[in-house]
Chains A and B, each alone.
Chain A
Amino acid sequence: MVRTLSSKQNEILSKLSSIVGKDNVLYEKEDLYCYSFDTMSHGYSVMMPDYVVLPSDARQVSEIVKIAAYYKLPIIPRGAGTNHVGGCVAVDGGIIIHFSKMNKILDIDIKNLTCRVQPGVILQDLQTAVENLGFFFPPDPSNLKVSTVGGALALSSSGPRHFKYGGMNEYTLDLEVVNAQGEIFHTGMAVKKNVSGYNLTNLFVGSEGTLGVVTEATFRLIPKPMCRQIMLAFFDQVERASDAVRAVIQAKLTPSVLDLIDRNTITTIEKFYPTGVFKEAEACLIIEVDGSDEQEITTQSSKIEKVCKLFCATDFVLAKNKEESEKIWFARRSAFAAVAKLAPDVVTEDAVVPQDKITDMVKKIKELCEKYGIMACIMGHAGDGNIHPNFSLDLRDEKQRENFEKLKDEFFEYASSLGGSITGEHGIGMTKSKYLDKNAPVYRYMKQIKDVFDPENILNPHKIW
């Protein structure tokens, strides 16, 4: 079906084509349809952009934004499109900037321990490149094989290593950004310390493409830990696992991974990816320590084992060699794939509670699942109090869809009542905007910031706000 364009649309099309070349502009319905979604699950109506452009440098991005500003068209940045919150869908049409061709690692500066990258670089590619040189860039969302630097920056994505190493903001020194008028500017500097005014770099990390479009990032790198040891502790109560986590932290131990999975997750993984690594239990802690030498690793591991046993771990397994470690990681990484096989839809949610409230949160999720007849496999970065229930359901079923909305409302309300946050790493996007109290002073200030950077509201509209 050839899309019939109005003369204005034709004008925009030819302007965009003159910037990026006609092969790098999509405008036919059949192409746009493929960009009408991200991982945000089904059940929402199709939201198509008017154009998709694939630029190759900041200058092109700036020109595209200038066109959008002139025609008052929304600009929606898109990396791998794997966010869970509808962050890169085009609610009111507009231009999607797909960064798949801005995927170059521009520089790895081993003298200054920094690197400079384009936003479309895949996180794993960056990690492999720096690790080959003996350095380390820790942020590790579990889909780092596809997740892009731009998306991870915009959502402040992280993973298990966050507990020890922190998230994207800890490593971002400077961002090159295109603002809503199409001007290119830098938020910081490629230096390790910089307090020359407000920290705009940190403001942009996590801003979900609503303040500016990131066209380049400079990160700091750290030395790569040389040794690792992974272990599993099984418990007959989630509470005991959660207490053990607290005790590990209180003992001033700093594992690089401190994840919790519940019984449903254990059985689902073993059902679809049987490895035998997971024992029958209510909860399992997946713990990894890393460091510069074997001695340090052994000391930490044995202390962790003692703590877990003190909290009545029913079983404790220490990987004996590389194969065993890989097997455990394989099983852990198969969690999403396993859950995805349970039902036509899988929705991963994200909430953070104070560490001592993990058990309450887990109990509440189970209670809600019971109440609404929906199944959940619960995983979490327990060290950070970050809980991810993965709900399996069929969103084509109206009743289930309705129930799920109610379940989510209660889930987030409860997380907030515990003094927690409605998101630790997935962001607000479209789907969680309704949970923000926009009248609270903090959001009023944030809205003013948004208005300063984007007075016409063309940068990723309907996201967060």
Chain B
Amino acid sequence: MTTQREITVTPDGVSPEQFMQALTRFESVVGPDNVLIGEDRLTPYRKTMMPVADEDYAMSAVLQPTSAEQVQEIVRICNDFGVPVWPTSTGRNFGYGTYAQGSAQGHRHQVVIDFRHMNRILEVDAELGTALLEPGVTYQQLVDYLEENDIPLWVSCPAPSAIASPVGNTLDRGVGYTPYGEHFMMQCGMEVVLPNGDLLRTAMGGVEGSNSWQVFKWGYGPYLDGIFTQSNYGIVTKMGLWLMPKPPAYKPFYIRFRDDDDIAEIVDMMRPLRMANIIPNAVVFAHALWEAPAVIPRSKYYDGPGAMPQADIERMKEAEGFGAWNVYAALYGTPEQIEVNWKIVTDAVRALGKGEIFTQEDMAGTEPFEYRAALMRGGMNLQEFGLYRWRGGGGSMWFAPVTVAKGSETLKQTRMAMEILNRWGFDYCGEYIVGMRDMHHVIDLLFDKTDPEDTRNAHACMTELIQTFRQHGYAVYRTNNAFMEQVADCYGPVQRQVNQTLKRALDPNGIIAPGKSGITV
């Protein structure tokens, strides 16, 4: 049983006595083994990559429920004792807070739900290409299931693939690299434990006996699924998603461009191909300083302070064969379809008069091509973690402003980001992930968290990036816990008020993830 001595922190506003009582009640619901407290068991949960003191974002306990009924009970106990609870599916939100909960300001030390023990694949319909999953199911598990049962469907995963989850990724509105790369677009139907303990099934899930929960997103009346993403209005215990039929043929390819300013022409060349679905997947334009970390440490070409000098970048590009911009895309379909589309793509590159195009055969098993080719068919892979070796020191934040898919815009955003990052002593490790008409401009702000000055600079740099971009009408699509307030402000007071009105209506005691996306009671 839980003893007083093992508890290092309690949630803000909750007394140790109240917290002890709540823990005893939690234990009666999920069993003592599934209430984790004490340094030993919590250590792996508490490491974050944000430029802040991890203690301010440390959870007071971790709960591991095994059923939706248990989650309902947990929520009722939370209401009784005013204990806030932050749900995670697989907790691999690297660069966005990992298992961090709360936003520090008065919302520290929440209890975290770790859904790893709720990991059943509840249904896969091989004909319709749908799945219904519990939150603890990893991409690896889903891929294994499809392979073991010979089901010709592909998943779409983010780069941490094997160790992350479809539910966690989709609920934070993450992205992948196949034609199904905009993950929330491919989500269909949810089961949600509401803050009062009720169990909601969205859309067709509300109709008794319905078999269309995983095929028709909208149901009737207001469409609710959206309000349970990047929010704190409920705890998702089941989620439906669509899986892509495995195409008869698949052709990944790579186009290398020499100059930083080529980004404008790349975007304008690719947009029509993407919009017409000739290239149907979430294409990537990776800068040299994203390409390099996947395969080499920075020290191979530069070991000094501050941002890597341009001359060293050029030397590295030349020696390693990286482009300034590296385009990864793929064709999917029958061999005949691919042949036609390949001609359209190669003609477009030829018409542009720059860019060298390479196929899988040309690249012959080398990285980073291989990992890109794997991701564009939903293959499990962790090669991109090389980013964390680039500079070392364990600090990382994604700065990911939304961009219009127009060349002039990317030129402007890239220059602005580069200037700010370099001035603070950081590299521009950036890429664009292409949507239908938008792009996610994803930059990894890598810093040495073991160095206090580097850490302070990273914090200041992120603040400036968000502010300066805001002045130009840009905002990020997602952020880590330490910057949720600042980012929420970029979206204006009316959105904040509406979010708060919903919060007050659904969760009057503010027990679910207070602070997430800047939303509180």
Chain A complexes with chain B? no
Task: Tell me the B residues contacting A by CB distance below 8 Å.
Answer: none
